[in-house]
Amino acid sequence: MSRTRWVARLCREEAGTGMVPALGSVAILLTCLLFVIQLTGNLYVHSLVSSAGADAVETVSRQPDNLDAAIVDADQNLRSVLGAHGDMSTDWRVVEREGVDFVELDISSPSPLRLFGGASNSLPFSTVHRTLSAPLEVVS
């Protein structure tokens, strides 16, 4: 007497769906998300430093008679406007280009966002370096 045995076939649609590939996908997604957050935060800090620095340079350029005091005031105001991002080095100077005096501000600062720890230094936009200038206004 011969018996027929029915065996369930493996469904091909379910092949490869396991816990490990799903966890790997989630890990890749979270890494990409952290990178995007780091990049967005660094771009925000760059924009903030550029805007505040441009305002400081314009303020100093409007006061050519009292330049040293204007630079000290503008530098203090710049650091207070930037708040936590104000930990930076600034270099103010007056340069002449084609017979016109310019006030120049050189700003260098590490970005305070460190989501990836020490590896953040190798990411794009990890340091802020801006050179801003404005012509000194001549009072007649």
Domain boundaries, the chain: 20-135
The answer to whether residue 103 scores a pLDDT higher than 90 is yes
| Structure confidence at residue 4 as a pLDDT band (50, 70, 90) | confident
Per-residue pLDDT averaged across 44-50, rounded?
89
For the chain, give the mean pLDDT: 83
> For residue 60, which of 33, 38, 92, 89 has the smallest C-alpha distance?
92
Q: What pLDDT does 34 receive?
A: 86
Q: What pLDDT does 8 receive?
A: 62
Q: What pLDDT does 40 receive?
A: 86
Q: Residue 15: which residues within 8 A CB-CB, separation 6 or more?
A: none
The answer to whether residue 139 scores a pLDDT higher than 80 is no
CA 28/CA 30 separation, integer angstroms: 6
Q: What pLDDT does 30 receive?
A: 95
Task: Please give the share of the chain, as a percent, with pLDDT higher than 70.
Answer: 79
The answer to whether residue 117 scores a pLDDT higher than 70 is no
Cα angle, residue 89 at apex, residues 78 and 58 outer, rounded to 5° = 35
Q: What pLDDT does 91 receive?
A: 94
Number of H helices, E strands in the chain: 2, 3
Question: Which has more pLDDT, 126 or 32?
Answer: 32
Look at the pTM and tell me if it is higher than 0.75: no
Question: Which has more pLDDT, 29 or 137?
Answer: 29
Per-residue pLDDT averaged across 69-92, rounded?
90
